[in-house]
Amino acid sequence: MTTAIVSNAKTIQTKIFGSRDQIQKLLPAGLDVDRFMQIAWGLVRRNPALLECTPESVIAGIGQGASLGLSFDPVLGQAFLVPYRNKKKGNVREAQFQAGYRGLATLAYRSEKIVKIYAEVVHKADKFEIFDGTEQKIIHIRNLDVDREIEDEWVGAYAVAVTREGIAFSKYLTAAEIIKRRSVSKSAEYEDSIWKVHPKEMWLKSPVRALAKLLPMSSDTEQAIRAAIDDEYRDAGVETPEITDGS
């Protein structure tokens, strides 16, 4: 690790913990600000590419996660900070907030209208059928005798949500549709892209993200989900929270 990166890492750490009061104001009630910040810093510290990002972009990404109440704990998979190079600023590295598919599901569960939501990747060896019409139906029988982690053998992914009234909503995306979404990602071309580091996460997120637009939601939940899906696929949308470094 170069001297410049070590220096930048110290600046990021100082600014993260110097923004404690402001992050606490963004967090929903009941979430521990110190634990949230320790987890966020741990995510940054373990990723050399994030340590090269501008401190301001890291703080902005953490702030957006805080405002949505989504944890950066990699075990939970609710939220990520994704490093990418901003070509408009001379290829400087910046961090960008992204909600994982579990983060979108968490936001949906907060609505009183959704009681179940999940996503699955479809392998080419699976039995998979979709019935459309007045009553949609998905039949998916997974083949457990194959290696299910080989991306080239995935043919699509789908998400299902069930309302409190028992009404099921579903969305299926083919491999071509998901790859098209990947092609417009600002970070997909880099080796540390979330599409390359966590491909399955992004395949699962894609139909959840599309499905979220169709679900009945409370206004607060709808606003939160709109913010969460305003990621690298869009150049405009909800602004990230403004946070100073506290220094």
The per-residue pLDDT string of the chain (247 residues; one tens digit each, 9 = 90 and over) reads 788 888 999 999 999 999 999 999 999 988 999 999 999 999 999 998 999 999 999 999 999 999 999 999 988 989 999 888 887 888 899 998 988 888 888 888 887 788 999 999 999 999 999 998 888 899 999 999 999 999 999 999 999 999 999 999 999 999 999 998 888 776 666 666 778 888 998 999 999 888 887 887 766 666 677 666 665 444 323 333 333 343 3
pTM above 0.85, yes or no: no
Give the whole-angstrom CA distance, residue 23 versus residue 28. 10
Give the whole-angstrom CA distance, residue 54 versus residue 153. 37
Helices (H) and strands (E) in the chain, counts: 10, 7
Cβ atoms of 159 and 130 closer than 8 Å: no
Residue 240's closest CA among 97, 101, 107? 97
Q: Residue 221: CA atoms inside 13 Å, Cβ hemisphere, count?
A: 19
